[in-house]
Amino acid sequence: MTRTDFMQGNTACAEGALAAGCRFFGGYPITPSTEVAEHMARKLPKAGGVFIQMEDEIASMASIIGASWAGKRSMTATSGPGFSLMMENIGYAVMTETPCVVVNIQRGGPSTGQPTMSGQGDMMQCRFGSHGDYSVIALAPASVQEMFDLTAKAFNLSDRFRTPAFLMADEIIGHMREKLVIPDTVPMQGRKPLQQGVLPFHPDEDLVPGFPQFGKGYGVHVTGLTHDERGYPCATSPALHEELVKRLVNKIESHRDEIADYDVVNPDAETVFISYGVPARSVQQVLHDQKNPDVGHLRLKLVWPFPDSALRIFKNAKTFLVPELNLGQIAREVQRHTKNEVVMLPKLGGALHSPAELTTVLEGYL
């Protein structure tokens, strides 16, 4: 049987993690994500897991990497300033192919910025914040229900591709309260084990190696240095470094259609909103009020890798309208993949686009 509750988004995120088998949380409290940690601190020990408050976000990210290699599904939660501190260890997780989940309840920045207000200013940092070339998986919930569902999904994607997965929510979604339906179980895709006799970083056909969990009899060296398939450092070979980095990127980018997750409304429309996260709610209200088949909506539930093939669903589209709580970070990605007109609708300061504001813009294109 399912259970119905009335719950805050951050709490729903923690419940989604618990349902997905997360048994280690390492974090440091920061507004507006703290409720995720508070709920995990209460619930994880009862589920046989471990909660630990680290001295800072650098250590938090390191702790979930270690817990993952010990065989546990692990997670941390933070906001902008803490996310910045995690970047070096996020790169380490990418290079060592460590599955783990990072939740970012975004607020207004730069720096300390607006701790209690909403924003989406970390979307490019999520994709490019650490140094070097790599790819990531990032989901963007637009409801309390999706805080639960997409958190659980993030763990499966992280394990499937042996990579950090990000839940890029925002303060409004994190702190709003809505109806939540909690299922008895959620789909769980475990890690692919490393086969005996196979080198620990030798990829299968899907470009993802099996996972040699510590304590299971594997001999494996784990390093952030460029390494060969044994895991041994080999940082001076141009050919080996190129092969490794291209595989780290392609194991995700070559599966972007498999990973993609989005909703489509009115695919024959000429004017199309593209949204993710909380602005999608204003767009949905506009479409409900307009009831105009010439107005479409592409709602991205998964932003990275960017699902460029979804743009081609709108064969009659002439204009894409992209409302974001930043100065146009994902709108620039839309521009990269289309020749259609792309209109940025930025909003800063913590306030959400109102349906009336979006309707006024829309009327100029109908």
Please report, in tens digits, the pLDDT of each residue of the chain (366 residues total). 789 999 999 999 999 999 999 999 999 999 999 999 999 999 999 999 999 999 999 999 999 999 999 999 999 999 999 999 999 999 999 999 999 999 999 999 999 999 999 999 999 999 999 999 999 999 999 999 999 999 999 999 999 999 999 999 999 999 999 999 999 999 998 899 999 899 999 999 999 999 998 988 888 999 999 999 999 999 999 999 999 999 999 999 999 999 999 999 999 999 999 999 999 999 999 999 999 999 999 999 999 999 999 999 999 999 999 999 999 999 999 999 999 999 999 999 999 999 999 999 999 998
Domains 3-182 and 263-363 share a fold: yes
Q: What is the pLDDT of residue 148?
A: 98
DSSP per-residue codes, 42-79:
HHTGGGT-EEEE-SSHHHHHHHHHHHHHTT-EEEEEE-
pLDDT at 93: 98
State the pLDDT at residue 219.
Answer: 85
197: CB partners within 8 A, 6+ apart: none
Which residues of 197-293 form beta strands (DSSP E)? 262-265, 271-276
Q: What is the DSSP string of 215-243?
A: TTT------SS-B-TTS-B-TT-HHHHHH
Using alpha carbons, list the distances in angstroms from residue 154 to 62, 138, 212, 298, 304. Answer: 19, 8, 21, 21, 12
Domain boundaries, the chain: 3-182, 263-363
CA atoms within 13 A on the CB side of 353: 31
Instruction: Give me the CATH code for the 3-182 domain, please.
Output: 3.40.50.970
Considering the entire predicted model, what is its pTM? 0.96
Could you tell me which CATH number the domain at 263-363 has? 3.40.50.920
Tokens 């309260």 sit on residue: 177
Which regions of the chain does DSSP assign to beta strands (E)? 3-8, 22-27, 50-53, 73-78, 100-108, 114-118, 137-139, 164-170, 177-182, 262-265, 271-276, 295-300, 302-304, 319-324, 341-346
Provide the pLDDT for residue 366. Answer: 86
Structure tokens at 53: 């408050």
